[in-house]
Chains A and B, each alone.
Chain A
Amino acid sequence: MSDNITKKIMLYFPECETESPIVYHLVKDYDLMINIFRAKVTPEEEGYLVLDITGSDGNIHQATEWLQSLGIIVNETDKGVKWDQNRCVQCGSCVPHCPTGALSIPDRSTMEIRFESNKCIECLSCIKVCPYEAVTSIF
């Protein structure tokens, strides 16, 4: 298990791929641990799945190829929740509502806001409380 890696990925289903039990196959066929943050998978519509996958590099690579063969777009860089530094006024009203510390104020003398997307579990609490639409969700 020590050579396992964890990746946060976003799956985009351009059309209805919801017939296939994708998560089951990721676990069963590729020996991956799955932690789903957020899903919007509706029949007849495009769908999204944001999740952490943990496993060996080789298995993750093969699983990614299998997902792509189904026409699913695997995005390892884009995030479902985006923080726009230019729209943020650094007020801090989001910070007490972020459960993971993805939004934080590391230096209490300057009171500037930091967003660490790798800590973000896409709970969307910040979107509700940001007065400036500095945080948005792509779905």
Chain B
Amino acid sequence: MKTVAEINEKISSGRAVVLTAEEVIDYVDKKGLEQAAKEVDVVTTATFGPMCSSGCFLNFGHSKPKIRITEAWLDDVSAYSGIAAVDLYLGATQLRHNDPANLDYPGDFRFGGGHVMEKLIAGKEVQLFALSYGTDDYPGRELRTRFTIDDLNQAVMVNPRNCYQNYNVAINASDKPIYTYLGYLKPHMKNCGYSSAGQLSPLLNDPFYRTIGVGTRVWLAGAQGHVYSEGTQHSPTCERGVLGVPSEGAGTLALTADMKKMNPEFVRGVSLKGYGVSLSLGVGIPIPILDEDMLKQTTIRDRDIKAQVIDYSTDYPQRTGKVLGTVNYEELKSGTIELNGQKVETGSLSSYAGARKIAAILQEEIRSGKFLLSQPISPLPFEQSMKPMKEIG
């Protein structure tokens, strides 16, 4: 048994043994669980993919005369201004003003909130256009200016839902192509889309949320942030397989970090044809190896992580609950899966190569003492499921 405090002490003195969630699999195979648990202090996990429920609070400082912003656009993307005078919240999936969306189906969705966030973190200039009705103490009614992230007092990413524990595999059984957030799906189940880092993914390496909880320090696009709550739609009550790993979406995390400290490589605007805009984020989470059980959880392999294949032409939009089949991530990553005797090509929206890179960066930051672990202040809910919407009339 080790504590987080003991592990942090080892990190500070440069003695911590840190492996990625990929490396640890072979290491435990070679050394045996008992011996490896004595040696390994931390396992790094990571993921890098589209996370639609993301956004940021920006504080601009006061204009002269002061303005109490009631409507605002950042590079023509509407930001929420129903908060204090010069605070705005920009959401990742907000479209640019005048975007034709799907009027000319399938729409291109070239630019939206996620792209504005990418520009800000890359240090580029963004335009603010703001309106107000004017008050005695905030007489300003209109404002147009340009700014970079350095001009802002604060830029804090606050993401209600990131790091889905697992996810559906989307397929199209109809006879027409469809456009989804898991990509373009050809008719007659010719291809499928998935999105998870599998054996590297944070919540798949801690499926019961023993170490990842509210207050856990995370690596969010290069900045040190933390989990501020369970994510929206966090549904841990689900079907679980090997080592208790869910075969459905299950848990989610709500994350926050300072955008000024982020690396633009891991914050990327996303355009999904026929669907919309989003933001791809790189997240890394360290798992303290408290005991053998915790180490065992991190040895989960792609082949033991299952995902459900769902028809996004009917069953997904109509919420029928029908599952066409179950596949594992080793099959998904091979490039083809077999479904009802038919070969289906696979494409990932989540970047496994990116996740490997992040897991290695975080490993290095912990080894060098730059990144310390934190003890959660409260656990994530472990029994909870989502109700469908109540519709009246």
Using CB atoms and an 8 Å cutoff, list the residues of chain A in contact with chain B: 89-97, 105, 108, 110-113, 128-129, 131-133
B356 touches A110 (CB 8 A): yes
A128 to B107, CA, bound (A): 10
CB distance from B114 to the nearest CB of A (A): 10
Interface flag for B142 (CB, 8 Å): no
Q: Are B354 and A89 in contact (CB under 8 A)?
A: yes
CB-based contact A90/B353 at 8 Å: yes
* Residue contact A97 to B184, C-beta cutoff 8 Å: yes
A96 touches B351 (CB 8 A): no
Known A131-B271, A132-B270; judge A90-B347 contact (CB<8 A): no
Most chain B CB within a 10 A radius of its CB, from A94, A96, A111: A96
- Determine the main DSSP class of B at the interface with A: strand
Task: Pick the contact of A131: B50, B334, B346, B353 (CB < 8 A).
Answer: B50
How far, in Å, is B1 (CB) from chain A's closest CB?
Answer: 34
- Residues of A contacting B191 with CB < 8 Å? 96-97
Tell me if A93 and B347 are in contact (CB < 8 A): yes
A111 touching B349 by the CB < 8 A rule? no
The answer to whether B48 has its CB under 8 Å from any CB of chain A is: yes
Cβ-neighbour of A96 out of B110, B273, B346 (below 8 A): B346
Verify if B272 is at the interface (C-beta below 8 Å from A).
yes
Q: Which residues of A contact B345 (CB under 8 A)?
A: 95-96
* CB-based nearest A residue for B348: A92
Nearest A residue to B357 via CB reads A90
The complex places the Cα of A132 from the Cα of B270 at a distance, in Å, of 6
Question: CB-CB < 8 A to A89: which residues of B?
Answer: 48, 268, 280, 351, 354
Tell me, rounded to whole Å, the shortest Cβ–Cβ distance linking B167 to chain A.
Answer: 14
CB distance from B334 to the nearest CB of A (A): 6
With a CB–CB cut-off of 8 A, which chain B residues contact A92? 347-348, 351-352
> What are the interface flags for B243-276 relative to A under an 8 Å C-beta threshold, 1 for contact and 0 otherwise?
0000000000000000000000000111111000
Across-interface contacts of A132 in B (CB, < 8 A):
268-271, 280
Chain B residues contacting A97 (CB-CB under 8 Å) are: 184, 191, 347
Chain B interface (Cβ within 8 Å of chain A)? 48-50, 110, 183-184, 191, 193, 268-273, 278, 280, 333-335, 345-354, 356
Smallest distance from the beta carbon of A48 to chain B beta carbons, Å?
21
Distance in angstroms from B136 CB to nearest chain A CB is 47
Once the chains are docked, how many angstroms separate the CA of A128 from the CA of B333?
Answer: 22
Alpha-carbon distance between A89 and B346 when the two chains are bound, in angstroms: 17
CA distance A15 to B334 in the complex (A): 48
B273 contacts A129, CB within 8 Å?
yes
Minimum Cβ distance to chain B for residue A14 (Å): 29
Whether the pair B353, A111 counts as a contact (CB closer than 8 A) is yes
Tell whether A90 pairs with B354 under 8 Å between CB atoms, given A96-B191, A96-B347: yes
A–B Cβ pairs within 8 angstroms, 14 of them: A89-B268, A89-B280, A89-B354, A90-B353, A92-B347, A93-B349, A96-B347, A108-B333, A111-B352, A111-B356, A129-B183, A131-B271, A131-B280, A132-B270
The chain A residue with its CB closest to the CB of B195 is A91
Report the minimum CB–CB distance from A91 to chain B (whole Å): 4
The closest CB in chain B to the CB of A104 belongs to B335
CA distance A17 to B349 in the complex (A): 43
